[in-house]
Chain A
Amino acid sequence: MTQSPATNASSIPSTANIEESQKIAHVTAKDFSIYYSSKEVVKKINLDIWAKKVTAIIGPSGCGKSTFLRSINRMNDLIPGCTVTGDLSLNGTNVYGKRIDITALRKTAGIVFQKPNPFPKSIFDNIAYGPRLHGVTRRPELELVVEKSLRQAALWDEVKDRLPNNALSLSGGQQQRLCIARSLAIEPDILLMDEPTSALDPKATARIEDLISELRGKYTIIIVTHNMQQASRISDFTAFFYEGVLIEYDQTLPLFTNPSKKRTEDYITGRFG
């Protein structure tokens, strides 16, 4: 299981091979802006995120990439004074439209946060939390879901004997995989990841990256990351944000090898950010 990030990178299929006809836009942003109070932090983004692909969003801190990510399943609603304009649709439905069922939206688009945030409950209850919310209450069913999710998150073998233990007794990397498993348990279409490895050590980071590679093709994954190597290793597409503006968006390989914008090149080559 322990693959080094380097070997992992080489296993990425060339994005150039992806045929145009396979592309299905899962998330579409049209002139989409986000404001904190009156400050525009994401500025008129136009972007299609393709289904079942891994899309990385990179950019320097404060460029609005996390804010954009969190707006997809409306986690930004929790921040007082946060408003949006323009259009952000998920599978053709405007996320900020009328009568949106936020519960269903968040079930469709699961999110993994920067710092692992398991509940102070048992491992089992952590995974089962989502399914219970959505109406699965029978124990055998829950056990199935828990096992499936933990297997998907490559955590099953490590924790199968201590499911009743407190989730906070796991290591940081395990906690993050638990959080991924928790998101998978509600069977989302999209998995949003907000710098999921920034609080982890290199070894745990490698595990998570492996996991993302395994999930590729099953879910639409959008990952915000600081780490350009990570983006290049694991993503099919990359979007580069700078000061709230989408500078460039392309398949990962072309973007990293042959950026079309000067800013992108500067950022990738480490001249700023």
Chain B
Amino acid sequence: MSVTVLKKTSILNTPSDNLVLSSRANLAQNILAWIGQSFLFLVTATAAMIVLFIIFYIAKNAIPFFQIQGLTEFFTSAEWYPSGDPPAFGVLAIMLGSTLVTLGAIVVTVPLGVAAAVCLSDILPFSISQTIKPIVEILAAIPSVAYGFFALVIFAPLLQEEGGRLLMVGWYLLAVPFLFIITIVISEMLTFKITHESSRKTARTAALFVLGGSFIALLIFVGNTLGNLTITTGTNALNVSIILGIMALPTVVSVSQDALQAVGRELRDASYALGATRAETLIKVIMPAASGGIFIAVLLGIMRALGETMVVWMASGNAAQIPSPWFNYLQPVRTLTATIAGDMGEADQVTGSSRYHVLFAMGLILLMFCFLCNLVSEWIVSRQRKKLRGEN
């Protein structure tokens, strides 16, 4: 075959040397592309570096406080009198307040949130869980100041007047079914090893009665105690914990739902095929497999509750004191965020004072904690990704 390569033939539309750029044009194009990419990178890097800048700036403003006042008082004293003479900057009570409301919120939100996520991903039919999703989204969208308003104007008076009875109803609602199930399960577990059929039955009935009786006594005792409780102020740690719990709910629900759904059909099928019930499948197979994601959900919930300002500022009572006893949720508390929000107005009048810098020290603690949570969740994600890659 004779091969003819024509450079400029009449039957080809474009002369082929058009394909090659002159070296100048090529250079221009390369430079342009480089400039464009660098610009994009610069903007992106700026956006990303903001967080470092924030950490730097908060730290820069926090360090003078430690230089002037040292670390001891800040971390070990509960005396918070920033405008006193001499001023006292003990943040222990405030940190305890933050911890209390965050813990309370987690106690409210995690069981409910994970249960709701399980329900949405595995129990309810797809169409219903799709219709419930907007409700979760609405809960997430409501501004925090509206939650704070609700907590202060509606919930606090209610808690103050009807608090004991509300708690009692809540206790019965949760404890009755729970204790009922526990009774049956424990009595079965206790008598599981008895081989003789009829003696097992008798033993089981006896165990049921003994356990059931003691649980009923406990139920009524706690219920009555709660019912007779008088709550002196509605703006307390309990109020804030419940509201923060509701606020953190959407995060926990959607993140753990994603984690549960990521587990995949196969594991579920395998478990069902071995005769496990849905609860057993979920508890023993799916939830352990999704535990990383659920843990991240809890972390995000903690971050949301700890970092929330408006609700705690409005409805926690803002008393910088350690409740007595320290776990008493019915007393007012004060949190880091609320202190920053509330005191900055006065402290900023004298920029550069200890009073101004101590608030930044608090902000730094918040920031560091959130940073840590973030790193942990980042680490979990990457570990999971590695695990998945390893399995494939």
Contacts and interface: CB of A to CB of B under 8 A. Distances in A.
State yes or no: do A and B touch (Cβ within 8 Å).
Answer: yes
Interface of A: 20, 23-26, 28, 48, 51-52, 90-93, 95, 97-101, 104-105, 107-108, 187-189
A189 B14 contact: yes
A100 B21 contact: yes
A139 to B, nearest CB: 24
A107 B1 CA distance: 29
Contacts of A97: 20
B19 interface: yes
Nearest to A105: B19
Interface residues of B, number: 23
Contact of B19 (A23, A25, A28, A104): A104
B1 A23 contact: yes
Cβ-closest 6 pairs across A and B = A91-B16, A99-B26, A101-B21, A93-B19, A92-B5, A99-B21
Contact of B7 (A51, A92, A100, A188): A92
B67 interface: no
Given A24-B5, A25-B3, A48-B3, A93 B12 contact: no
A104 B11 contact: no
Interface of B: 1-7, 9, 11-14, 16-23, 25-26, 29
B13 A90 contact: no
Contacts, number: 71
29 contacts: A24-B5, A24-B6, A24-B11, A24-B12, A25-B4, A26-B12, A28-B3, A48-B1, A90-B16, A90-B19, A91-B6, A91-B7, A92-B5, A92-B7, A92-B16, A93-B16, A95-B19, A99-B20, A99-B23, A100-B19, A101-B18, A101-B19, A101-B21, A101-B25, A101-B26, A104-B19, A105-B19, A108-B19, A189-B12
A187 B23 contact: no
Kindly name the residue among A23, A28, A99, A101 whose own CB sees the greatest number of chain B CB atoms within 10 A. Answer: A99
Contact of A93 (B4, B11, B20, B25): B20
A105 B22 CA distance: 14
B2 to A, nearest CB: 6
A101 B1 contact: no
Nearest to B26: A99
A187 B18 CA distance: 14
B30 to A, nearest CB: 9
B203 to A, nearest CB: 68
Contacts of A93: 16-17, 19-20
Contacts of B5: 24-25, 28, 91-92
A104 B18 CA distance: 7
Contacts of A188: 13
A101 B29 CA distance: 9
Contacts of A48: 1, 3
A50 to B, nearest CB: 10
Contact of A20 (B1, B13, B14): B1
A28 B16 CA distance: 13
A187 B14 CA distance: 9
A51 B13 contact: no
B356 to A, nearest CB: 51
Contacts of B7: 91-92
B233 to A, nearest CB: 59
Contact of B11 (A20, A51, A100, A105): A51
Nearest to A217: B11
